[in-house]
Amino acid sequence: MLDSIPPHIKSLIIIGGGPAGYIAAIRLAQRGFSLTLIESTHVGGTCLNWGCISSKGLIHASNDYYKISSKSLLSPGIQVDKVSLDWSKLSAHLEQDVQHLRNGIEGRLKRLKVTVIKGNAHFVSPTSLEVHLAEGGSKVLQADAFVIATGAETLVPKVFQGLNSPYALSVKEIFKIPELPKRLGIVGAGVIGLELAQAFQRLGVEVHVLDRLSGILPQYDPKLVAILQEKLQKEGITFHFNADITAAVVDAPKNKVTLKISSLLNPEEQKTLDVERLLVAPGRRANTQGLALENAGVDVHPQSGGIVINDALQSSQPHIFAIGDVTHGHPQLAHVASHHGIVLAETLAGKQNGLDALTQVPAIVYTQPELARVGLSLEEANLKGYTAKLTRLPFAALGRATIDSTTEGQALIVVDDATGAILGAEILSPYADALISQMLQAIELGATVEDVALTVHPHPSLSEAWLEVAERHLGHGIHID
């Protein structure tokens, strides 16, 4: 596809300053291109300003609070007489962290001489944009090429579209609520819903999670998911599965939202649920609204609404590229978006682009314990023609897990019987985001299960899970048959 890249591209306009857009701008500037970045709100996008960073900060704080307030989780001999929570200070601290990181990105762009324009852009033609400036007025811009990096937005079902803040909240609003609700409803048992459900529950909020599916996280190993779901329920989260929310009514004087719920399995089975606040997070869709892509001749997928791209990240217009969550067929993950940004810059600079690395994308759920996966599941491997075998390891076999009271964890690997190559891995564990990276590299580099077994791991450590599960797969487990 590299031959189809328009020659002599020197100047680019990037629409969207999230983890796809700002990283593309940085790397393109490093490669000597002239860059203009258009952002409607703040650089960093949803991930930095309202999503990844804020949610992980909240998770970190809620874990501290939960461990101290649930005295049974502290090590024997350690006692804490009193613990309190100041939500206003915590939420202000989360915003300070966001501002600090945002300032760093803005400074980096400035030093690299990237022109940043605050405003909303739409295509006038395939070769020009009109930008409605945040400060007022508008201007028309032209460049050799354009990059669409507008990300994704929350998909809000019709039943909630008439509800306004502060009753129905998005992830952009939930971290700035003035006080914690007593009862919080969360629509969506996906990654975002589960992470925030546990965080708010650990801060003392009664949490109800509603989803149309019959369970959580169908893309992960069922046994690991069952362990995680049981833990979340033991902590107090109530799940409402197969739930069709037919109505949502606000009673402002009583400070509540009443949800009318019908069972998808039995429509005659109906109930109501009262909550003070509602977080709507059932999913996300490509953010192409307002771009006037029809003026540019850019094709979108009829089902997803995402921009259709080729292996060089080009849209149906060779000089218009799309990266990140706005694209069709790519995982909506910040690290995928960032990789797109790097790949685009390297491609335009005539370097090896590394797009094939996206065949191995780690996915993380930042609950406690964390859940992570990479590569193929057993079913996916067999569908692709492999004769594969799955081996799992309960963390009861790990000394570090006993020390840390995390023996409910598990790790598993999927191995090709013919070659011994690692095809996939999953892990339910503290620090799963770091631990899964070893298997990501193993798969990327073509390592075999024997390679993993022969690699010396530190002791005692949770990373020994990969050593132990590899040994077990080979038929000579050390601490477990």
* pLDDT reported for residue 41: 93
* pLDDT reported for residue 165: 72
Order the strands of the 128-133 sheet from edge to edge.
138-142, 128-133, 115-125, 34-39, 11-15, 145-148, 320-322
* pLDDT reported for residue 76: 81
Structure tokens at 33: 């291109």
* pLDDT reported for residue 353: 64
Mean pLDDT of the chain: 94
For 93, residues 6+ apart whose C-beta sits below 8 A from its C-beta are 57, 61
Q: Give the largest Cα separation in the chain, rounded.
A: 71
* pLDDT reported for residue 3: 46
Q: Is residue 212 predicted with pLDDT exceeding 50?
A: yes
Angle of helix 464-473 relative to helix 432-444, nearest 10 degrees?
50
- Mean pLDDT, residues 361-373 taken together: 97
- Mean pLDDT, residues 10-29 taken together: 97
Measuring CA to CA, which residue among 152, 146, 135 is closest to residue 36?
Answer: 146
* pLDDT reported for residue 75: 81
- Residue found by looking up tokens 């461990």 in the block: 67
Measuring CA to CA, which residue among 463, 415, 404, 458 is closest to residue 436?
Answer: 463
Q: Residue 295 CA to chain centroid, in angstroms?
A: 31
* pLDDT reported for residue 423: 97
- Mean pLDDT, residues 177-202 taken together: 97
* pLDDT reported for residue 84: 93
Structure tokens at 179: 């006080």
Judge whether 200 and 184 are in contact, CB under 8 Å. yes
Q: Residue 259: CA atoms inside 13 Å, Cβ hemisphere, count?
A: 28
Measuring CA to CA, which residue among 326, 256, 284 is closest to residue 193?
Answer: 284
CB-based burial label for 423 (10 Å; 0-12, 13-18, 19+): buried
- Mean pLDDT, residues 40-67 taken together: 94
Of the pLDDT bands very low, low, confident and very high (cuts 50, 70, 90), residue 311 is confident
Of the pLDDT bands very low, low, confident and very high (cuts 50, 70, 90), residue 358 is low
pLDDT by residue (tens digit) across 69-96? 887 677 888 888 888 999 999 999 999 9
The lowest-confidence range among 75-84, 325-334, 447-456 is 75-84
Measuring CA to CA, which residue among 20, 39, 45, 42 is closest to residue 131?
Answer: 39
CATH of domain 2-154+285-359: 3.50.50.60
Of the pLDDT bands very low, low, confident and very high (cuts 50, 70, 90), residue 360 is confident
pLDDT by residue (tens digit) across 118-160? 999 999 999 999 999 999 999 999 999 999 999 999 888 999 9
Which part of the chain is CATH 3.30.390.30?
369-473
CATH of domain 158-282: 3.50.50.60
Judge whether 91 and 82 are in contact, CB under 8 Å. no
* pLDDT reported for residue 318: 94
Of the pLDDT bands very low, low, confident and very high (cuts 50, 70, 90), residue 1 is very low
- Say how far apart CA 26 and CA 35 lie, in whole Å: 9
pTM for the full predicted model = 0.94
Q: Which residues of 1-28 are buried (b: 16+ CB within 10 A; e: fewer)?
A: eeeebeeebeebbbbbbbbbbbbbbbbb
Q: List, by residue number, the catalytic residues.
A: 459
* pLDDT reported for residue 356: 61
- Mean pLDDT, residues 39-43 taken together: 95
- Residue found by looking up tokens 């994704």 in the block: 152
pLDDT by residue (tens digit) across 259-278? 999 999 999 999 999 999 99
Q: Strand, coil or helix: what is 340?
A: helix
Structure tokens at 458: 């530190």
Of the pLDDT bands very low, low, confident and very high (cuts 50, 70, 90), residue 357 is low
pLDDT by residue (tens digit) across 286-305? 999 999 999 999 999 999 99
Q: Write the DSSP symbol of residue 237.
A: P
Q: Which amino acid is at 120?
A: N
Of the pLDDT bands very low, low, confident and very high (cuts 50, 70, 90), residue 2 is very low
- Say how far apart CA 248 and CA 157 lie, in whole Å: 11
Which part of the chain is CATH 3.50.50.60?
2-154+285-359, 158-282
Measuring CA to CA, which residue among 393, 391, 419, 396 is closest to residue 407?
Answer: 396
For residues 303 and 5, the model is more confident at: 303
- Say how far apart CA 34 and CA 290 lie, in whole Å: 25
The lowest-confidence range among 125-129, 138-142, 314-318, 477-481 is 477-481
CATH of domain 369-473: 3.30.390.30
